[in-house]
Structure 1
Amino acid sequence: MQDKEQAGIVFNVQKYSLHDGAGIRTMVFLKGCPLRCAWCSNPESQRPQPERAFNRYKCLSPAVCGYCIPACPRSCIFDIEGLLAIDHAGCSGCLLCARACPTGAMTVYGATRTVAEVLDLVEQDAVFYARSGGGMTLSGGEAMQQPDFAVALLREARRRHVNTVLETCGHCDGDALEEACRHLDSLLFDIKHLSTDTHKEGTGVGNERILENFLRVCAAFPSLPIIVRTPVIPGFNDTEADIRAIARFLPKRANLVHELLPYHRMGQAKYEFLGRAFPMGGAQLADGTLNRLRSVALAR
């Protein structure tokens, strides 16, 4: 199969991104992630398959519309006192309700796209990439959860002279990650915590594989620019000791940067759309914490 015919599941293509690699970029978000970070701002990315979401603010009400109710073969959608209610546990994921919805209140996160279809969208903004040094960034979820698709996208993008960046959590097959790195202009690599026990508490998995893959990539690709990203999360890694441990772990090389990202709750509404509770509640960083920890990271 040619790379351009390879297919995968994409849940968003976001144009004009300015924070995920050099210049103006198009972000391609792939479905599936091995982590379950409590602070995840893209919960729709976690499960590998397309999934239904419901935005009650767009719903016309069962009295006015109600097309989704008979569309559900499992009778998981109800009219309760004039409002739409969903039995999320009983949902089979058939997505027939979303197809029946005329307003977009019921929608689907994730669709099968080929490499050619994705890159045709990406290349629509080629003029902006040429002027700014931008290009395509693969993200997720975890892009390397779909390794064949991700590598095919990167390889075909390079054939089309599109600058390529991969954002990864590092919890993936090391051979596949190496193959992806051969087709990158730069790499964004998340390192969230140095304690494997704490990492598992916050993300659902330990960090051994992540750190092993990071060191492997550093050794195999000494010329590849790497930005190590650490999201600063209240109660998880927001102490000087946490950040200092990560900073001291990183190899000293001119083309490696350690970047701390601020905690935010911008994805909180998506949890409601998916029928899930937001794990972080009202947690927030204390004033001044991020700037103080950025000084610690720079001191490595």
Structure 2
Amino acid sequence: MNAPHIPAQSQDAMPAHEYKMDPAPDYAPRHPGADKLKDKVALITGGDSGIGRAVSVLFAREGAKIAIAYLEEDRDAEETKRLVEAEGGECLLIPGDLGAKAHCEATVQKVIDTYGQLDVLINNGAQQWLDEDFAALDEDKIDRMMASNVKAYMFTTQAALPHLKEGAAIVNTSSVNAFAGMGSLITYSTTRGASLAFSRSLAGNLADKGIRVNSVAPGPIWTPFIPGTMPADKVEDFGTQTPMGRAGQPWEVATAFLFLASDDGNYFTGQTLHPNGGMVVGA
């Protein structure tokens, strides 16, 4: 796959916006659907853009009804809804702050009220900032990132569990930084380590209920995180440090989520998949 040139750019927002990115991230599924999620309902947090958009569209192609929880990026979310519906799927948009437990409970209840069931939970929504100077880490940003990247996963899962039946799947987004660390992303890497430990621990807790829990740990992927986090000059040619010499695209990560959410991953729980362009890390 030829890597598109990524020009210098940045956005003064977190979450940032996909519609402002150049080039646009590639979310599009590559293969016809095979009904791997037929008659399933999936709740995808952070499903408005980036990896979440790619997962939403792929799951819709595979027959799932989609609910997208996101913070406030309405334009991106409406575009993802359009893409899901173009696949013949249904899409429910639920804006709001998942760092608040009451909103997580309301979000799950809205899914149940709309679709009558919940079969797949994708905990993917997150925020990220650079924080190279550990001594100067901003308390408010730490609290916001912990709420978004850790508490939201736990609160949404708590709300979902009464509705998840045997055969259900939970997939949490982690990161290569949970394994390799990143000196300029201390807080973010810490939260992704937490989501990894959460996945492994919850998998053991729910195994006897027949609910599988796994995680996906992407490497450098071209998503709104990048222009929303990095200075413009560091965004240029993002991802070229990987063995494959390029950033990954969201569609290349979505397939890992599909594998773990569908019966293809039926003997996987407590595991992590690593779409990272060849960066070898501890499993």
TM-score (norm 1): 0.38
Which structure's relative contact order is higher, taking Cα pairs within 8 Å and 6+ residues apart?
2
TM-score (norm 2): 0.40
More helix by share: 2
